[in-house]
Chain A
Amino acid sequence: MTPQFAELWVYLAASPLLGLTATLLAYQAAFWLYRCSGGHPLANPVLIAVAILVFFLMSTATPYETYFAGAQFVHFLLGPATVALAIPLYAQIRRVRALLLPVLAGLVAGSLTAVLSAIAVGRLFGASLPTQLSLAPKSVTTPIAMGIAERIGGIPSLTAVLVIVTGILGAVGARYVFDALRVRDPAIRGFAIGIASHGIGTARAFQVDAQSGAFAALAMGLNGALTALLLPFVAEMLGRLG
């Protein structure tokens, strides 16, 4: 690095501008690739943007905290965006009422499957107890999952990452699971993707179909609430098992 450039870099690295701009640029590039691929699920914009940013942070040796000082302005909008999910949900209120029984049964079955299968497979392949507890809330939206992990003895920041990966896996793979099972109703597809992969699945569902998106939002909200109530008891039982 030339001295002038090093000086400029020191200035930029200390300001939130860099983290914020890098996040937006990486996302724009990722979204452009997603468009070019014709909306292919493997070209998930979150996945590509995260890969670009991880490469950028590692190659410039920038600490995550420095990056987050700028990126937090984007991260903050998750709160109001979660609240705004009530709007598409309201637009689907009739359809939700007509599907009340399948919705409630799907919620309970899906929520239990998400928590118990994550712990069971993690245990089977030798994950430590804190890792198992970080895996348990992985199908729930990030802010809820981090809160749950903290409460039950998991590692909140690891949970945040596992939640994102789960979201991407669901957004990428749901289509293949549904097609194999011949599930075609957009409401059911949306609801299942919202249970399994929260906001990222919901974002993907909105990109495919408005009704799917609304049901995904409903599922995400309900699953967040149910998992938050359920997991402390499961964690207590796990603690006894050791």
Chain B
Amino acid sequence: MLSALTQLLVFQLAGEVLARGLGLPVPGPVLGMLLLFAALALRGGPGEELQNTGQTLLQHLSLLFVPAGTGIVVHLHRVADEWLALLLSLLVSTAATLAVTALTMKLLHRRSGDAQ
């Protein structure tokens, strides 16, 4: 548990250092994820400990968004002023993104499936 958590933090730190050092617009944790992915590919998979710790952490991923989500109390004024535009934008855009992504993939997957 402890060593796995340390590994995750080290990769996050490496990602953070790389992002700031090179002035990349990508956030540190995402680079950290890519670095860990590369390390796993080199190592041939995570050890049992990292596997279990990662699973525990991701099992309650939803919990980690709660503090930021509660931040809506600070923006109740702007939300009250522009609620219709905000709500419609989020609804339409989320549905459109789901549909466009899924249909694009389905179309191309079927094509590559036919070719085989």
Contact = CB atoms under 8 A, between A and B. Distances in A.
Contact of B64 (A81, A89, A170): A81
Interface string B41-53: 1000110001101
B86 A131 contact: yes
B21 interface: no
Given A102-B104, A206-B61, A125 B97 contact: no
A153 interface: no
Interface in A159-217: 160-167, 169-170, 173-174, 177-178, 181, 183, 185, 188-189, 191-193, 195-197, 199-200, 202-204, 206, 213
A79 B68 contact: no
Contacts of A202: 61
Contact of B99 (A124, A138, A151, A177): A177
Interface residues of A, number: 110
Chain B interface size band reads: 35 or more
A53 B70 contact: yes
Interface of A: prevailing SS: helix
B29 A54 contact: no
A90 B89 contact: no
Given A109-B104, A151-B25, A181-B99, A80 B12 contact: yes
The 10 lowest CB-CB distance pairs between A and B, nearest first, are A110-B101, A71-B67, A125-B85, A82-B29, A86-B36, A164-B69, A196-B97, A127-B85, A192-B101, A84-B54
Interface of B: 5, 8-9, 11-12, 15, 25-30, 32-34, 36-37, 40-41, 45-46, 50-51, 53-55, 57-75, 78-79, 82, 84-86, 88-106, 108-109, 112
